Chains A and B, each alone.
Chain A
């Protein structure tokens, strides 16, 4: 199998579905068949909670340990693996998702806390056949190398432009009382919660500027 064999991804997905317990509400199925595990003394099993998560317009019913972060619920239970786990402590922004229109770090919130909220991940912004304008701009401007930070960058950028439109100021806003300006300096400051180890920042900024309709 080569590194780029598409079958590898399919295989991973199939095994993940077999191991996970999450199913869309509309098709609740019994837990996948139990597998035999060696008898190891387990710490006291935490009580699981049954919650409903609304992600990309679909309701999911899922039983999970209350310790599960939104990020882990999205990736490990709902198999929406677009959101990435980089640092798992809110510093890198790879896990950025949009909740009720606001970008947040999904690694620093619990899934149980997000019941009743509308969650949008990279999978909900666009599809390979119908890219979100920000996704298309990232492709056009080569706004990535390895791509690991890209879903977070794009979710963050989409919500960031909404923050500018809503008149929310930033650290580099000169006059707090004037309407916000969409400028590259504003984009740079406002995107500081998304790190790119490949250093694709200049291209990311060009992509954002194009979507915002300003000169980079």
Chain B
């Protein structure tokens, strides 16, 4: 691990200002992803700003009937909150399908959004990776790509975003709240928060340097049956090959987002108009333009079958 200096911030604005002031600074909250990457010298911050003392660990009701989730709410606490379990079940389910009990106790809401990819070529510093070292190439393209993205890919990168939580938040139309170093606050729709790789896969989100996430807000509940189905190589504690987050209404309409298929949670609103026609119609709309590899072409079929299973299960609850 490279050397760094360390400070504890006492307000979001102070944290953002400290980050803007110090070249190479990073925020640390749970640390479960950042420290792992620092040990491998994939992340090499010169200064760590510990934000754990900021009072951002509450889930508060919003005037519009929604909820405001503080950036530091731990994954365990978010999944266990009775309002989330009752009204946003897809989010509870997604969180509980991710990581382990230990890591969910550490990981935060904002940190979960900012996870880096688990692409093995990103993790192996002996391999080329445009995300880790822009311009060095992509080991996954033409390499072992079973876990990789099938849609929204580029010639520079086929990595996936590893979060389950973010996939559920995409179906819920969540909004990310931030504060910048100058104190300005803004909101970013979750759809615009994560970026596609294009030719700049090292840029993964819409945040500006030093910009600090303070909360994620959920609009008022939309009802329906909430399901999250994660398909992986073992039954627990593994990243998704693919995952399906769905909210299905009694009339068969609904929302669907996919994990494990793209550089960001993947949702195509236009495709949701086909919900009544079944999984194949929806997936055809969602994955049009898919660009698979020899290793990951199975994901197209897997998504369709998983969505079919989810829609059948939803019918059982209706």
Contacts and interface: CB of A to CB of B under 8 A. Distances in A.
Interface of A: 43-44, 46-47, 49, 65-67, 69, 88-90, 93, 96, 102-105, 108-110, 112-113, 156, 159-160, 163, 166-171, 173, 176-177, 188-194
A173 B101 contact: no
A168 B80 contact: yes
A112 B100 contact: no
A96 B99 CA distance: 14
A89 B36 CA distance: 6
A103 B236 contact: no
Q: Looking at chain B, what size class is its interface with the partner chain?
A: 35 or more
A104 B3 contact: no
B32 interface: yes
A160 B102 CA distance: 9
Contacts of A163: 76, 101
Interface string B277-295: 0000000000000000000
Nearest to A173: B96
B103 A105 contact: yes
Contacts of A104: 102, 105-106
Contact of A105 (B76, B92, B102): B102
Chain A contact surface mostly: loop
Given A67-B4, A176-B92, A110 B101 contact: no
B298 interface: no
Contacts of B4: 46, 66-67
Given A93-B100, A104-B105, A190-B101, 4 more contacts: A65-B3, A88-B39, A90-B102, A191-B101
Nearest to B3: A46
Contact of B103 (A44, A88, A160, A193): A193
B160 interface: no
Contacts of B85: 169, 176-177
A69 B237 CA distance: 23
B1 interface: yes
Nearest to B237: A192
Nearest to B226: A176
A192 to B, nearest CB: 4
B1 A67 contact: yes
A141 to B, nearest CB: 21
B208 interface: no
Contacts of B243: none
Contacts of A188: 236
Contacts of A89: 36, 39
B165 interface: no
